[in-house]
Structure 1
Amino acid sequence: MKALRKQEVSIQAAGEFKVGDQIEIGKYTATCQKVTKKGALFLLDQYLDEPFKMNRENTNEGGYEASDLRTELQKNSVLAIFESVRNMMVPFKNGDLLRIPYAEEFFGDVDGYESSGKKQWPLMTDRKNRIAIREGEAYEWGWLQNKLEFSSAFFAYVNDDGSTDYYDASNSFGVRPVFRLG
């Protein structure tokens, strides 16, 4: 990702973030993808150290909202990574502090996936910004929130080449959390 400017979060007022700003979150970096009235949306530039299954069982019933991955992201063990910005984090509409991206935020309009109504983030028009790694690993696949419309088991993911595809919910893929600072 291109960094327009590195930010020191402890002294940065949330309203001053701009798309492309990067901040440090522990050993990770995160880039501002969008600024709204509710705050600045950030996406980790790397996958978390551990890959996760969307669901232990091979199902997409209930979508991301009912997924095992959503439950994992709200646990203290994951939220502890974000301790340096925790006091600035603004919950999403469902009360979560972390989520994963929607396919539309990475790719714009996509056919075959449950629609979220979201728009593509400006930095994601560049394919290289959709690609990520886990520390010490090669480029890999990462989960997106959208479930496949014509399947009871598949969710969308980002390929290691920055394109989109879908796979069984019970497989383990990378996770790049999204969070909002306000």
Structure 2
Amino acid sequence: MMKVLRKQEVSIQTTGEFKVGDQIQIGKYTATCQKVTRKGALFLLDQYLDEVFKMNRENTNEGGYEASDLRKELRENSVLEIFDSVREMMVPFKNGDLLRIPYAEEFFGDVDSYEPSGKKQWPLMENRKNRIAIREGEAYEWGWLQNKLKSSGTYFANVHGYGTTNYDNASNSYGVRPVLRLRLG
């Protein structure tokens, strides 16, 4: 049974009827519903995972996020077991993954310098404070996004610690805020 927190925990639901802004508890993390579609409700962790990750051990963006070491890490049981409390409700994405990271457009809207994804900005991300996250015991930090920088063979997009867009080498270590999709009803 999942506890859904709405507006300072005023109402609790366990039915899987989500709306944008709903928060759920996943272990020691919270996640906020960013979008609801017929395929399910997209939730984004409000904090970075405890461990920082490299997009790729080698400094390349060849193959994009789909071919990245980070994607492989998010498919490992050591990461997936964090989501055991909601695992039965998780709906795989088109590529079969249960977790992914956000696209630059989902955080910032259209961003010309990155390879486009065709995604739209999540309404809650219009407020810069929602793009900012921390890792337990750390100050605000940077976090990975899926998009490659158009003009580079090594850079991926990321969120700067102040909630603005940036990019950096794939072999740098940054925070990760997984996105998961939960089935409705």
TM-score exceeds 0.5: yes
**In the aligned structure 2, how far is the partner of 1:170 from the partner of 1:127?**
26
Q: Indicate whether 1:155 and 2:156 are aligned.
A: yes
Q: Is the 8 A contact 1:5 1:20 kept in 2?
A: no
Gapped regions of structure 2 (runs ≥ 5): none
Aligned residue for 1:115, secondary structure, equals coil
Shift of 1:12: 2.2
Q: TM-score w.r.t. structure 1 length?
A: 0.95
Shift of 1:5: 5.8
**In the aligned structure 2, how far is the partner of 1:100 from the partner of 1:26?**
19
Shift of 1:3: 5.3
Shift of 1:111: 1.0
2:178 corresponds to? 177
**In the aligned structure 1, how far is the partner of 2:88 from the partner of 2:18?**
16
Note the 1:17-32 alignment, pairs <5 A.
17-32=18-33
Aligned residue for 1:69, secondary structure, equals helix
Q: Percent same amino acid at aligned positions?
A: 78
Q: TM-score w.r.t. structure 2 length?
A: 0.93
Q: Indicate whether 1:123 and 2:127 are aligned.
A: no
2:145 corresponds to? 144
Q: Indicate whether 1:109 and 2:110 are aligned.
A: yes
Q: Indicate whether 1:87 and 2:57 are aligned.
A: no
Note the 1:53-64 alignment, pairs <5 A.
53-64=54-65
Shift of 1:13: 2.6
What letter corresponds to residue 110 of structure 1 in structure 2? Answer: V
What letter corresponds to residue 166 of structure 2 in structure 1? Answer: D
What letter corresponds to residue 65 of structure 1 in structure 2? Answer: E
2:7 corresponds to? 4
**In the aligned structure 2, how far is the partner of 1:35 from the partner of 1:4?**
18
**In the aligned structure 2, how far is the partner of 1:52 from the partner of 1:127?**
23
Gapped regions of structure 1 (runs ≥ 5): none
**In the aligned structure 2, how far is the partner of 1:13 from the partner of 1:97?**
21
**In the aligned structure 2, how far is the partner of 1:13 from the partner of 1:62?**
39
- Give CA-to-partner distance per residue, 1:4-52, whole Å, 9 cap, x none: 36476xx6233x1000000000000000000000000000000000000
Q: Is the 8 A contact 1:5 1:21 kept in 2?
A: no
Name the Cα RMSD after superposition. Answer: 1.4
What letter corresponds to residue 25 of structure 1 in structure 2? Answer: I
**In the aligned structure 2, how far is the partner of 1:63 from the partner of 1:175?**
16
Runs of 4+ in structure 1 over 2 Å off:
2-8, 11-14
**In the aligned structure 1, how far is the partner of 2:93 from the partner of 2:99?**
8
1:45 corresponds to? 46
What letter corresponds to residue 12 of structure 1 in structure 2? Answer: T
**In the aligned structure 1, how far is the partner of 2:138 from the partner of 2:60?**
27
Shift of 1:87: 0.2
What letter corresponds to residue 93 of structure 1 in structure 2? Answer: K
